[in-house]
Amino acid sequence: MPELPEVETVRRGLLPVMQGRAILQAQVNRPDLRWPFPERMVERLRGQRVLALRRRSKYILADLDSGETLLIHLGMSGRILVSGTMLGTFHHDHPAPQKHDHVVLDMEGGARVTFNDARRFGAMDLMPTERADQHPLLASLGPEPLGNGFDETYLTQALHGRRTPIKAALLDQHLVAGLGNIYVCETLFRAGVSPRRLAGNLGPKRAAVLVPLIREVLAEAIEAGGSSLRDFRQADGELGYFQHSFRVYDREGQSCPTDGCTGIIRRIVQSGRSSFFCPRCQR
C-alpha cells in the first residue's frame, strides 16, 4: 500500500493540473470501490473548481469551491495518472480507456485525471470541507510526521509506558499519521534500534533521535518519487526510485550496509508485517 512519500509524490504531480482548475466533466464507471461512491458524485464534482490540493496521512484531499472536499485513497493498487498535458518535458496523450479506469476527471486546461484500481481497495468520498477533519477516516489520526505537531517532546511522551514493540508503535496511525512498513524499517535501522524493542523501554534520548531520522527518510523518499515495489506509479506514469536506496527493507540475507559491520539482514514477522533489520547494528 502506498505510504506517505508515495501519496505526497502523487499530490505534487496533480498540483499543476488540478489546483486552481475546474472539473469540466466527471465520469464514474462503477458504483463503488472499497466502499460505495457518494450519492450524485458526478453531479457534485462537475463544474467545481479545486481550490486546494492537500494531503492528510495517506489521503489526498481536494477542496472544492462548492464547500465540499473530495477524499481520495489509493488503496493497495490504485493509480492516479494524468494525460493530455505536459508533465516535465513530455506530453502525455490521452490513452485508450482501460478496464480498471473507475473515475475519470476532465480538467480545465485539457488535462485528464484517471483513477485506475485493479483490486478496488481504494476509496473516494465527498464531505463538507469545514468538517473534513471529522471524517471517520481522518478523525483519529495522529500528527503529521513532517509537521510542527510532531516533535521530540510529543514522541517521547507518546511512547512512554507502551508495551508494544517500537515497530508496531510507529505504525500506529493514532500515534503518527502516514508512516508505513518500509519507512519505519529504514528509520529504525538508521537509529540503531531493534524493531523488537518495547517502545516504552526506548528512553527519552533514543526516542528523540527518531524524529529527525523519520523526517530525513521521508524527505529522501519524496525526493526520489517514492518506492515502486509492485503497483505504484507517479502521476506521469513513472516509477519511484527510493527502493534503490533501501538499506534493510526487502534485503533479507544480504550484508549489512554499515561500514565494518559483519551482520546479515534478517526478516521477522511482527503483527503480520515483515520487519527487516541488522541484529548487530540494531539493539
Residue 260: count other Cβ atoms within 10 Å of its Cβ: 5
Q: Which of 55, 56, 58, 197 is catalytic?
A: 58
Active site residue 97: no
- Sign (positive/negative) of CA torsion 199, 204, 208, 210? negative
C-alpha cell at 271: 503483527
Q: What angle do CA 100, 105, 111 make, to 5 degrees?
A: 110
Q: Which of 196, 206, 273, 280 is catalytic?
A: 273
3-class SS of residue 140: coil
The CA distance from 119 to 121, in Å, is 6
Active site residue 205: no
Give which of 130, 133, 129, 135 is closest to 143, Cα–Cα.
133
Active site residue 144: no
Question: CA-CA distances (angstroms) from residue 256 to 180, 181, 266?
Answer: 22, 19, 10
Contacts of 149 by beta carbon, 8 Å cutoff, 6+ apart: 143
The CA distance from 268 to 127, in Å, is 40
User: 3-state SS string over 88-131?
Assistant: CCEEECCCCCCCCEEEEEEECCCCEEEEECCCCCCEEEEEEHHH
Active site residue 58: yes
Identity of the amino acid at 21: R
Q: Which of 3, 8, 68, 186 is catalytic?
A: 3
3-class SS of residue 283: coil
Catalytic residues: 2-3, 58, 273
